[in-house]
Structure 1
C-alpha cells in the first residue's frame, strides 16, 4: 500500500501521512495491550508529529487515493508492531524477524510476478543490503519492545528524519533548509522528554 501511494502521490504527502502510525499504535496499545494512558506520552507523540510537519510542510488539502493508502499502511504497521510486542513476550527477536521475513516473502510473490523485471548485480547488491539492514533494525525493534511499552518507543521513530537529512548531506550534497533543522530539534526534544520521563518512573518503581 505504501509503495503504491508513493507512486501516485507526492512524496511529502506520503511521508507526512506515514507518520500517523504512532497515533494508531498509541490507541491500540491502550485498547489491546492495556498500557496506561499517560498524557506526557501522547503529548510527546503529538510534538514529534508537529516537528515532522515543520520539516515536510505538506499540502494536505484533498484526501486522494494515495493519501488513503498511506493511512491504511500506517494503521497496518501499527497493528504489526502490537503483534510484535505480544510475540516478544514468548519468542526471541531472531525468531520474530525470521518469521516476518518468510511471510513477507510469501505474500510478496504474487504481486511481484505482475511487475517483475530483470535486474543486474548492482541492484541485487542493493537488495541484499536492504534485507540486511532491515533485519538488523527489526531485531533492534523487537528487543526494545521487550524492555518498555510500545508507545514509549514510537516518538523515536521520528528521529529517522534526522538521519535522512544527514545522509542527504553526506552522499547527495542536499543541504537541509531551516525548516528541517527546526523540525529536527522539535522531534529530538519530544524523544528526549519521553525518555527522561520513562527513566524517572522506572527509578520511582525501584525505590
Structure 2
C-alpha cells in the first residue's frame, strides 16, 4: 500500500529471530489484506475499497497521535507530502484494481517488480551509481515481469498492465520518500500519509459508491486493520534485520495469496506465474544482497513499502 519510513538496520544476531518473526507476520497480514480486498469486491468497486482501507487504516494509526501528541504534525515539507500522496494513491488504486481483476498470485507477484523500477529511478533522480551486476539483475527481473504478463498467451489481460502501473508508481513513491526521510520522523510520515489519503481516495470512490452491507463491512474494516498492522510489523522487521536477509521472506506473500486464491476463489497458479515470480524473486534477492555486500544503504532495498507494491 503509502506509509513508508526510513529504516535503521540493526544487524545484531540477537535481533535476527525477532526480525524474521516480524517480517513473516507482515507478509502474511499483507496477503490476508489482499484476500479481504477480493472478498469485499463482491459488492464494492476497488476504488471504494481503497477509500475504506485508508479510512479505517487512519483510525488504526490514531494511537500514534496519543503516543507523540500534536507535535507529530510538525513539518516544513507539507507540499512534498501531498505530491508523494498523489503518486501513492494512483499506485494504490491501480494495485487494488489489479487485485480484484487478476488472479491474486499474479497480481501480487507483479507488484514485486517495484524494486526494479526503483533502481532505475535511483539512478535518474538520486544519482546513485549502479554497476553492471545490478543492471544485469534488473534486466533479468524484467524478463520475469514479461513472463508473468503472459504476452501472446490466451491468459494475457490488460489488467496485468494496470498492476505494472501500480509497481511503477510505487517506485516513484519510494524515491519521494528518500527526500522526506531526510528530515521527517517515520511515525510522522505514517500518520500524514494515511490522513491525506482518506480524502484523495474518497473522490474516485464517489463515482462508484455503493453502500456496504452485511459481511462486507467486516472485510473493509479488516483490510484497514491488517494493512496498518502489517506495515508496523514491516518497519520493525527492517529496524532489527538487514534487508538482504528479509527480502526473500517477503515473497511468502505470493504463496499466501496463492493458497487463499485456490481455496476461496478456485484460482490455479499456472506455470507462467510460478516461473515469472521465481525470476523476479531471484533478481530482487540479488539486488538486496549486492547492496548489503557493498554496505551502501539505498532507497532500493531500504525504503520500499510492500503495501504500495500491491495497491
Residue 102 of structure 1: CA displacement?
0.7
How far, CA to CA, are the matches of 2:169 and 2:285 in structure 1? 27
- Which structure carries more relative contact order (alpha carbon 8 Å, separation 6+)? 2
Q: Counterpart of 2:126?
A: 33
Q: Say whether residues 1:135 and 2:255 are aligned partners.
A: no
Note if contact 1:158-1:187 (Cα within 8 Å) is conserved in structure 2.
Answer: no
How far, CA to CA, are the matches of 2:134 and 2:220 in structure 1? 36
Do the aligned partners of residues 166 and 52 (structure 1) sit closer, same or farther apart at CA in structure 2, a change above 3 Å counting? Answer: farther
Q: Say whether residues 1:53 and 2:153 are aligned partners.
A: no
**Which secondary structure does the structure 1 equivalent of 2:207 belong to?**
helix
Compare 181-190 and 116-125 and name the one that shifted more. 181-190
How far, CA to CA, are the matches of 1:163 and 1:199 in structure 2? 27
How far, CA to CA, are the matches of 1:169 and 1:4 in structure 2? 20
Q: Say whether residues 1:176 and 2:261 are aligned partners.
A: no
Gaps of 5+ in 1: none
Note if contact 2:147-2:272 (Cα within 8 Å) is conserved in structure 1.
Answer: yes
Residue 108 of structure 1: CA displacement?
1.9
Note if contact 2:102-2:159 (Cα within 8 Å) is conserved in structure 1.
Answer: no
Q: Counterpart of 1:108?
A: 201
How far, CA to CA, are the matches of 1:4 and 1:20 in structure 2? 12
Give the RMSD, CA atoms, in angstroms.
4.4
How far, CA to CA, are the matches of 2:164 and 2:266 in structure 1? 31
Q: Counterpart of 1:98?
A: 191
Report the TM-score when normalising by structure 2: 0.48
Do the aligned partners of residues 167 and 88 (structure 1) sit closer, same or farther apart at CA in structure 2, a change above 3 Å counting? Answer: farther
Residue 3 of structure 1: CA displacement?
4.2
Q: Counterpart of 2:217?
A: 124
How far, CA to CA, are the matches of 2:275 and 2:139 in structure 1? 16
How far, CA to CA, are the matches of 1:35 and 1:141 in structure 2? 23
What do residues 96-129 of structure 1 show as CA deviations (whole Å, max 9, x unaligned)? 1211111110112223233221112422221122
Do the aligned partners of residues 179 and 52 (structure 1) sit closer, same or farther apart at CA in structure 2, a change above 3 Å counting? Answer: same
Gaps of 5+ in 2: 1-89, 297-311
Which has a greater percent of helix? 1
Do the aligned partners of residues 59 and 103 (structure 1) sit closer, same or farther apart at CA in structure 2, a change above 3 Å counting? Answer: farther
Note if contact 2:140-2:283 (Cα within 8 Å) is conserved in structure 1.
Answer: yes
1:189 counterpart (257, 282, 290): 282
What is the aligned residue count?
195
Q: Counterpart of 1:82?
A: 175
Report the TM-score when normalising by structure 1: 0.66
How far, CA to CA, are the matches of 1:73 and 1:82 in structure 2? 14
How far, CA to CA, are the matches of 2:201 and 2:141 in structure 1? 32
Q: Say whether residues 1:202 and 2:267 are aligned partners.
A: no
**Which secondary structure does the structure 1 equivalent of 2:284 belong to?**
helix
